[in-house]
Amino acid sequence: MANSENHPAIIRLNPTQYAHILDNNTNVTRVLIGPLTHARQDHETKVFGPAEMVLVPPRQYCVVKNPVVRDGEGKVKVDPNNLQVKLQYGEEEIRLEGPPFPLYPGEQMP
């Protein structure tokens, strides 16, 4: 299974790519952000990606459903018990032009 096409043992991410990895021991999905070469462990499963980060062009915007919770400095808040990102379920966030960003597990773009 480690060498199958759907679950490669090595995940290579370019600087503008990201991927979602599920840790089967803790049942938490985390985001890997490139540039990165990740050796997948036996208890990990690639759920999504590699995919290109979202880039919003100048004078444009995008809507993100279930956005992550951020602190005052703009950093993503993480649950200290299980290291899972916190989401604002049922909310929508409008993101304007800026640097490319990944979609965290649970975030959606319609």
Whether the per-residue pLDDT at 14 is higher than 80: the answer is yes
* pLDDT band per the 50, 70, 90 thresholds, residue 1: very low
Percentage of residues in the chain with pLDDT exceeding 90?
Answer: 65
Q: What is the pLDDT of residues 78-90, one digit of tens each?
A: 888 878 899 999 9
Q: What is the pLDDT of residue 104?
A: 93
Q: What is the pLDDT of residue 81?
A: 81
* CA 37 from centroid of its chain's CA atoms: 16
Other Cβ atoms within 10 Å of 11 Cβ, number: 20
E strand residue ranges, the chain: 10-13, 17-23, 28-33, 36-39, 44-52, 61-65, 92-96
Question: pTM (2 decimals)?
Answer: 0.83
